[in-house]
Amino acid sequence: MKRDSDRVKKAVAIATKAHEGQFRKTGEPYIVHPLAVKKILEDWGMDEDTIIAGILHDTVEDTELTLKDIEQEFGESVAFLVDGVTKLSVARNGMRDLDTYLPQTKDNFLRLMVALGDDIRVLIIKLADRLHNLRTLSALPPDKQKKIAKESLDVFAPLADRLNMGLLRVEMSDLAFKYVDPKRYAYLKDLIEKYNKQAARSLKKIETEISSALKKEKIKFILSGRVKSVYSLHKKLAKHDQNINEIYDLTALRVIVEDITDCYLTLGIIHSLYTPMNGRIKDYIAMPKQNGYQSLHTTVITKDKHIVEFQIRTKEMHEFAEHGLAASFYYNEQKLTENYKKGKIEHLPTNLLWITELQMTAAKLREGKKVDLKKLKLNLFADRIFVYTPKGDILDLPQGALPLDFAYRLHSEIGDHVVGVKINGKMANLNKKLEHGDVVEILTSKNQLPKTSWLDKIITSHARSKILHSLNSNNKKL
Ligand code: MN
């Protein structure tokens, strides 16, 4: 274990003093939390400034300590990171109403983006903070548990995924899902365990066969099982009409080898031993996923009719798949320079360069400069579109959203009285699909009331429930 540097020791001492007399809901002294965040960031291999900012992340908001103090003691960079985390948390606390909060909330989202744009490490600290809060969620009252858990599933776990932080995504989503839907969680966890028990013997056999075949070919390897996460099984089952027989990756084996050549050799060896399933070979080495994930995947049927998924990758790919963006900090060991803050992050893998784009745009927004938002590709939320009110507020909606979805997202009072819509300054039909970057102006009239036909002009469940609610109460009034 690495010894703490003098700066880190000083940060721990200052945070301990600042949080003195404060306690967590678990009953422990508050400092336990920042220290846990420190440990998580260390495990992720983050740089010293990030670790120090992690130790201090709650001081500015919750204690007497000021940003100025932090800047004097630890320099501009640490103060900058703490400020970013504080801003994120202030933005979040500003949204008290559970239903309207995140990620729908324009203001909050914009702030999130701006803070993100400052430095991606802010987000990594926030993820570590959230992870520890989830691990200790049992101490909170049930309504808070549900809120935090749901927000973690909706916002933080997908963020971890976009940053290819696989271990974090799995831990977060399973911890959170347990609170969001405890019965379903228990049922699926049990299902996975039973399945694994059944598969255990034949899996042993497969491991032996693969090991001896690889040794024969003089390929160095590490073989390990991977247990499917409860939440990902839940999502997959939803896609496949709850038919577990269509889930082919319940049992998966990982083969970690030395280099890319060995990856392909190993794939060939596996296919010579077992029958590959049609259409289940995926080459994410030649074509990485959007988040940078690389591996070869194949699903095979063994002699005793077991279906097993293999994931084959190099050590570097494995490290990156588990720790994602955090791993790239670790591997490059590059000092984060002023350039980094300004958005020139040369040491990021090319498939994560969208972060640069996001940062530069956020910097412009902060300076009050005009930004061509159409050009901004927010790969972070690839399945969402971002549209604007004439005042420049940002709302994010699912792809395919229609003007009424937008109106109801603004406010049900607005939605209920829609008479028309202008998209980019021109009158448009309520059937017109909104596009990323559109400026949408809703025209209303007090006399207008929701119509049944509106149900065909929306795609979000939010708008649907609001329309149904209005239709019902209007009927009662008549
Ligand atoms: Mn915290």
Q: Are 303 and 280 in contact (CB under 8 A)?
A: no
Residues 6+ apart with CB under 8 A from 454: 404, 430, 467
Q: How far apart are the first and last CA of the chain?
A: 73
Residues 6+ apart with CB under 8 A from 114: 87, 362, 365, 366
56 CA → ligand 1 middle, Å: 9
Q: Are 82 and 14 in contact (CB under 8 A)?
A: no
CB-neighbour burial class of residue 31 (10 A; exposed 0-12, middle 13-18, buried 19+): buried
62 CA → ligand 1 middle, Å: 10
Residues 6+ apart with CB under 8 A from 246: 240
Residue 332 CA, distance from chain mean position: 23
72 CA → ligand 1 middle, Å: 22
In the block, residue with structure tokens 């609610």: 469
30 CA → ligand 1 middle, Å: 9
Residue ranges of the alpha helices (H) in 342-402?
A: 354-366
Q: Are 251 and 199 in contact (CB under 8 A)?
A: yes
Q: Any idea which residues carry the catalytic annotation?
A: 61-62
| Tens digits of pLDDT across the chain (478 residues) | 567 899 999 999 999 999 999 999 889 999 999 999 999 998 887 878 889 999 999 999 999 999 999 999 999 889 988 988 887 776 565 544 333 444 444 444 454 555 555 567 888 898 999 999 999 999 999 988 998 898 888 778 877 887 778 889 999 999 999 999 999 999 999 999 888 888 888 888 999 999 999 999 999 999 988 778 899 999 989 888 888 888 888 888 999 999 999 999 999 999 999 999 988 899 998 887 767 788 999 999 988 888 899 999 998 888 888 877 666 554 443 333 344 444 444 444 544 555 555 555 555 655 666 655 444 434 445 566 777 777 656 677 888 999 999 999 889 999 999 999 999 889 999 999 998 768 889 999 999 999 999 999 999 888 998 999 999 888 776 5
Measured over all CA atoms, what is the biggest interatomic distance in the chain, rounded to whole angstroms? 82
> What's the CA dihedral at 336, 341, 344, 350 to 10 degrees?
70
Q: Are 378 and 358 in contact (CB under 8 A)?
A: yes
127 CA → ligand 1 middle, Å: 10
34 CA → ligand 1 middle, Å: 7
292 CA → ligand 1 middle, Å: 29
